[in-house]
Amino acid sequence: MNNPITELTKLGQSIWYDNIQRKLLENGELAAMIVRGEIRGVTSNPSIFQNAIAKSNDYDDALIPLAKAGKDAESIFWELAIKDIQDACDIFTPLYKESEGLDGYVSLEVSPYLANDSEGTIQQAAELWKRVNRPNLMIKIPATKAGLPAIRKSIAAGINVNVTLIFSIERYHEVMDAYLSGLEDRILAQESIEEIHSVASFFISRLDTIIDNQLPENSPLRGKIAVANAKLAYQAFQEVASGVRFGKLQLVRANYQRPLWASTSTKNPAYPDTLYIDELIGPATVNTVPPKTLEAFKDHGKAETTLTANLDDARQAIADLEKAGISLVQATQDLEDAGVKAFADAFTGLLETIEERRRDTA
């Protein structure tokens, strides 16, 4: 029986692992998953780190000396996170080299407190890039209005960027423009762009959740809008990737900013548990999946190109949503606001956990 993840790779989609924890790095499991061909990168966020640190003792041995040295909770967090990210980058280095920089990336997010602070984001992205000091690092920057100039500046500075919290196609166009502008700025500064990689992370399942809550139980649009939106986003990517502007950049070895499908675990138990992998397969894409979704896809996923299928149905679903009086523009803005708040709340909770342990050990 063919391994569906191996088949995905052949179709041009990379699976990244939406999870990080110190024991995965230390017990050899992450390395084993790479060898088995299951994952080709790792993403992290404040919620994942909160889960890793608050719900385990994995970090106690590292935390104690930092606490005794008088470091505050946020400084301790960055020390712990940077060590995890460095170790994960090192584990992925062979794949990074073998894939010639296509995969093998590990993502670390800037502080969610900076989501509406362009300058603060630019400064912290540069600082984290320098502190981690690994070529296969990606710095996660949210696709807020304030994040857009930070994305451009970071790309221009030679930093790999994972643009996160994208919900709308309108914002996605702005994200692609920020990436291309950053590359163009770098060329004007007579710097190389061939080592710079970026992904644009479109959040999937949350859109169905917010839309479904506004639809009648028997609506045929339930569970359809997130996939439709992603398919139209992929079409936008293809248009930019084949356009004149990117074509000029390709002459000096620019890399695609691949779409990355995030938040791909199904939140509604009535939907297939591999829905947001099965329906979003296509070349030059990434899907970052949490542990349960990865196991489900390994067990019963179907690997076939689906992103470019049924585009007319996707357009019709979006049109029918508007006819039903539901604003996709409002829904995606609400999701961006909620996403920023959720990550900030998770970060606050994480710092509170570290502070408690710091007090207990200092």
- Burial-class residue 83 by CB neighbours within 10 Å (0-12, 13-18, 19+): middle
With helix as H, strand as E and coil as C, how does the chain read? CCCHHHHHHHCCEEEEECCCCHHHHHCCHHHHHHHCCCCCEECCCHHHHHHHHHCCCCCHHHHHHHHHCCCCHHHHHHHHHHHHHHHHHHHHHHHHHHCCCCCCEEEEECCHHHCCCHHHHHHHHHHHHHHHCCCCEEEEEECCCCHHHHHHHHHHCCCCEEEEEECCHHHHHHHHHHHHHHHHHHHHCCCCCCCCCEEEEEECHHHHHHHHCCCCCCCCCCCCHHHHHHHHHHHHHHHHHCCHHHHHHHCCCCCCEEEEEECCCCCCCCCCCCHHHHCCCCCCEEEEECHHHHHHHHHHCCCCCCCCCCHHHHHHHHHHHHHCCCCHHHHHHHHHHHHHHHHHHHHHHHHHHHHHHHHHHC
Distance CA 269, CA 24 (A): 28
What per-residue string of b and e applies to 317-354 under the rule 16 or more CB within 10 Å gives b?
A: bbebbeeeebebeebbeebbeebbebbbebbeebbebb
**What six digits make up the tokens of 1?**
């029986």
68 flagged as catalytic: no
Closest CA to 163 of 181, 143, 135: 143
Q: List the catalytic residue out of 55, 83, 140, 224.
A: 140
**Residues designated as active site:** 140
